[in-house]
A and B are shown apart, each in its own frame.
Chain A
């Protein structure tokens, strides 16, 4: 389908930016189309937790005024972009999918929010997610589940399921999610869009509701690799409000795509193609591998020997950090407070008991346990050591190859309620967690559909701060196949 016949809300960001720059369309029209689409699909999809159409319309008008005055702030100016509801937007609700923050309104902008504003983006839609970003299906949202746009009775993945579903359903032209163990890449794969988790520290975490500080990264969802590059361009770069943000100079991520694609060396980690991988997913990923071979890439098998320990390591480190990060939700200064507390302890106990859902409580308890006196060395300290080994595995592999190619999720979108066992749910992230532990950039690129019509994605994992190269490799496939431009029948 060409840009000319595509409904406005399904345009790629790059196409929409070109149309806006040429004044073929206005941001007001584009934004109105997205709002109308959201109003049409939200009753069934439920990807949003809140939205402020009036604010979006005002932002769109301001963008059009800039362009009419001969200005314009670049490719994002006038583009409707939605945010996962863990990213702070001044004077807008910020719930993190939790009863705890049901009525909380953020008095400040996250750094990424400010950067999107500076780029002229029209901020529209706060997306549903697993509570405090803990989950892989968005079923842990305290408010409601979100459907998968390709099969409404199936999950969109998680925790950034709302952001992936909203984009796939045409409720935004790009969205931002956050990824701690796969929370951008897995829903991107399950919803048939591109999702990038940047290098740890590439994008500021200031204003991101913290789940696990040493693993969390904000990243973009887009219909194409190019779109993801354009959004990354706007949000990446050092932030003095985040000590963990890297000082590396901003790169021209979108420009990197224009470079002629040269044959590259791709590695297939053998540990990522074993038991538990759905055959249809495996077949689609194999097709993508074939494409790279045809492009002249050298594809070889590599080994990441500590892969088997990634999940355990993750659930020690992430829950330890979460147990401390979530201590601030105590009912004292903001957030849910129980009715008529008898005393301080009653206030703490009941406010937190009522405010947090089961998965959040499970992880707080686990994290509290692993940090406890007498257990710290056996769990937390050991997990940190394994984390170092996992990172070393990746860096050794990068001595042989430029990027790793793996399935993103072992399975396509599953039925709502299908994974009631928490451990079964945790296995959804088995291929994505490694990149978080190692702090590496990783991206899910759509690579086809199952016979039942469910999207499949493959994952590319790159070198530290190697986003430009990673995007170029992904683009070499994506510009040909463009699976992310297909629309669900919704």
Chain B
């Protein structure tokens, strides 16, 4: 019998806000333990939560970006369970009325080749709700310590439908979701800092069956690659159990990405009764239409939508679009250049090859580039008009990046301006080259087009490299044709 996998993902995304979700103390990472605390975070007697509106803004924005239905009211519930990382021993969360329902994440699967677009799919979402993050336990040999710095950080739980079929799809889902969250300014999604965490529910069923098999929850998937690998590992494990005639136990398993193995954490019989009930300390918050519209106006174009536009409007190659659209500042930079009149394809080449190289070397963001979009457009114009040769332009660009100066200023300062195309000198250099290379000239005239290159070298040499190759080519062809 052949089996297919059915996978649902629960993704926790920390929202980037200045303060925590229910109090004014700062949210942050990497501080001294228990310094980002106050009476509310530590759940001291008498402390009360007050909602941070920025966290609600963020989840509404996430919902709008992913096409979710936004609830008319944000309502809070308590999820009751005892654990030392949870200061109140209940988590403020949303039970029956999440802020977002429905919506989907568009994914792209790997294409047949690197430079070809792969298949696109939409993975439907069940819901997104808002809650508070818990603290962190550090287990020593004889004691465990708790750090409450993370406790109360705003957190979104994004739950997909069981609609993914492979580790590769999960990888594509997380890549797309992560980019959407980053580009929407919702989260930095740094998995090493726990800003994006993923649990996977995996079950197998005979191909053709419509019922779901027994699911296993996979935890501790702390990179996008580990999610893919962990899921593939779990699919193989379940398949081998089923093929041996065994049964899958409903359980939670821990995947170790380093060793590529998993082990059982607990079986589902120990499931909690969380005794959810509406939190009486927090009033429901009405999310009206103007609020949604204000946030909708802040939503950026989604990466795949932008890619489709770049392909259609600018005729960029697929590989260039897939570099640009996943890096919003770079794509924004590109569009600024195009808006100012830069030719899209040339601009794309310069940005992807030269600008990215310099940015990476300097470790700065496109928005902080000292090459303004206007100066890049000016450089493109100099090249296009033949005022500067490509090789020289590369040098000019490096200097533009280093100094922030205009390309004209650098070209003049360094004497890099190309010889004018209508110069009589060029024609005489070309005549000399034809006269001095009769064999190549004859070959060209007899139909061997490549032979013209043998004539260009002497012209360039005579021009000390400042001749415009296009003009050299045209002049040589004109003279050769004329006999």
Q: Which residues of A contact B (CB under 8 A)?
A: 86-88, 94, 96, 101, 104, 106-108, 110, 205-210, 212-214, 240-244, 320-321, 323-324, 327-328, 330, 332-334, 344, 348, 368, 371-373, 376, 380
Which of B42, B45, B51, B273 is close to A372, meaning CB atoms less than 8 Å apart?
A: B273
Contact (Cβ within 8 A) B80 A324 = yes
Could you say which residues of chain B place their CB within 8 Å of the CB of A333? 42-43, 87, 146
CB within 8 Å: A-B pair count: 95
Report A471 CB to chain B, min CB distance, Å: 27
0/1 interface trace, chain B 30-69, chain A, CB 8 Å (1 if under): 0000000001001111111111000000000000000000
Which of B48, B50, B82, B282 is close to A330, meaning CB atoms less than 8 Å apart?
A: B82
User: Which of chain B's residues has its CB closest to A132's CB?
Assistant: B45
Contact (Cβ within 8 A) A108 B44 = yes
User: Which of chain A's residues has its CB closest to B42's CB?
Assistant: A333
Contact (Cβ within 8 A) A328 B89 = yes
- CA A221 – CA B273 in complex, angstroms? 42
Count of residues in B whose CB is under 8 Å from the partner chain: 28
Which of B44, B276, B277, B283 is close to A334, meaning CB atoms less than 8 Å apart?
A: B44
**Secondary structure class of chain B's binding surface, majority of residues:** loop
Asked if B90 is at the interface (CB within 8 A of a chain A CB), the reply is: yes
- CA A372 – CA B282 in complex, angstroms? 21
Which residues 279-309 of B have a CB within 8 angstroms of A?
280-283
Most chain B beta-carbon neighbours within 10 Å: one of A96, A242, A328: A328
Asked if B205 is at the interface (CB within 8 A of a chain A CB), the reply is: no
Could you say which residues of chain B place their CB within 8 Å of the CB of A108? 39, 44
User: Which of chain B's residues has its CB closest to A374's CB?
Assistant: B273
Contact (Cβ within 8 A) B51 A243 = yes
Which of B48, B146, B275, B282 is close to A241, meaning CB atoms less than 8 Å apart?
A: B48
Could you say which residues of chain A place their CB within 8 Å of the CB of B46? 86-88, 94, 106, 110, 205-210
Contact (Cβ within 8 A) B82 A327 = yes
- CA A107 – CA B87 in complex, angstroms? 17
Which residues 119-145 of B have a CB within 8 angstroms of A?
none
User: Which of chain A's residues has its CB closest to B277's CB?
Assistant: A371
Could you say which residues of chain A place their CB within 8 Å of the CB of B87? 328, 333
Could you say which residues of chain A place their CB within 8 Å of the CB of B146? 332-333
Report B357 CB to chain A, min CB distance, Å: 50
- CA A108 – CA B41 in complex, angstroms? 13
Give 5 A-B contacts (CB < 8 Å), ordered by A residue.
A205-B46, A206-B47, A330-B89, A332-B84, A368-B275
Contact (Cβ within 8 A) A373 B45 = no
Query: What would 8 more interface pairs be, CB under 8 Å, given A213-B280, A243-B282, A373-B273?
Result: A110-B46, A206-B47, A207-B46, A210-B48, A213-B281, A324-B78, A327-B80, A330-B84
Contact (Cβ within 8 A) A243 B277 = no
User: Which of chain A's residues has its CB closest to B271's CB?
Assistant: A373
Which residues 72-124 of B have a CB within 8 angstroms of A?
78, 80, 82, 84, 87-90
Contact (Cβ within 8 A) B45 A101 = yes
Contact (Cβ within 8 A) A243 B283 = yes
- CA A478 – CA B87 in complex, angstroms? 47
User: Which of chain A's residues has its CB closest to B272's CB?
Assistant: A373
Which residues 255-282 of B have a CB within 8 angstroms of A?
273, 275-277, 280-282
Report B152 CB to chain A, min CB distance, Å: 14
Could you say which residues of chain B place their CB within 8 Å of the CB of A244? 280-281, 283
- CA A330 – CA B280 in complex, angstroms? 21
* A344-B39 in contact given A88-B45, A243-B48 (Cβ < 8 Å): no
Contact (Cβ within 8 A) B48 A242 = yes
* A380-B277 in contact given A88-B45, A106-B44, A206-B47 (Cβ < 8 Å): yes
Report B358 CB to chain A, min CB distance, Å: 48
Could you say which residues of chain A place their CB within 8 Å of the CB of B50? 240-243
- CA A376 – CA B277 in complex, angstroms? 9
- CA A209 – CA B283 in complex, angstroms? 19
User: Which of chain B's residues has its CB closest to A384's CB?
Assistant: B278
Contact (Cβ within 8 A) B82 A348 = yes
Could you say which residues of chain A place their CB within 8 Å of the CB of B84? 330, 332, 344
- CA A210 – CA B327 in complex, angstroms? 48
Could you say which residues of chain A place their CB within 8 Å of the CB of B44? 88, 106-108, 334
User: Which of chain A's residues has its CB closest to B148's CB?
Assistant: A333
- CA A323 – CA B49 in complex, angstroms? 18
- CA A330 – CA B85 in complex, angstroms? 12
- CA A332 – CA B89 in complex, angstroms? 11
- CA A372 – CA B277 in complex, angstroms? 10
Contact (Cβ within 8 A) A328 B43 = yes
Could you say which residues of chain B place their CB within 8 Å of the CB of A324? 78, 80, 90, 275, 277
Which residues 158-183 of B have a CB within 8 angstroms of A?
none
Report B73 CB to chain A, min CB distance, Å: 14
Could you say which residues of chain A place their CB within 8 Å of the CB of B88? 327-328
User: Which of chain A's residues has its CB closest to B46's CB?
Assistant: A207
Which of A96, A209, A214, A327 is close to B89, meaning CB atoms less than 8 Å apart?
A: A327
Could you say which residues of chain A place their CB within 8 Å of the CB of B48? 205-206, 210, 241-243
User: Which of chain A's residues has its CB closest to B81's CB?
Assistant: A327
Could you say which residues of chain A place their CB within 8 Å of the CB of B51? 243
User: Which of chain A's residues has its CB closest to B50's CB?
Assistant: A243
- CA A323 – CA B273 in complex, angstroms? 14
Contact (Cβ within 8 A) A214 B280 = yes
* A371-B43 in contact given A206-B48, A327-B90 (Cβ < 8 Å): no
- CA A119 – CA B46 in complex, angstroms? 22
- CA A94 – CA B44 in complex, angstroms? 11
Report B37 CB to chain A, min CB distance, Å: 10
User: Which of chain A's residues has its CB closest to B40's CB?
Assistant: A241
User: Which of chain B's residues has its CB closest to A331's CB?
Assistant: B84
Could you say which residues of chain A place their CB within 8 Å of the CB of B89? 327-328, 330
Contact (Cβ within 8 A) A371 B80 = yes
- CA A327 – CA B282 in complex, angstroms? 18
Could you say which residues of chain A place their CB within 8 Å of the CB of B49? 243
Could you say which residues of chain B place their CB within 8 Å of the CB of A243? 48-51, 281-283
- CA A213 – CA B92 in complex, angstroms? 14
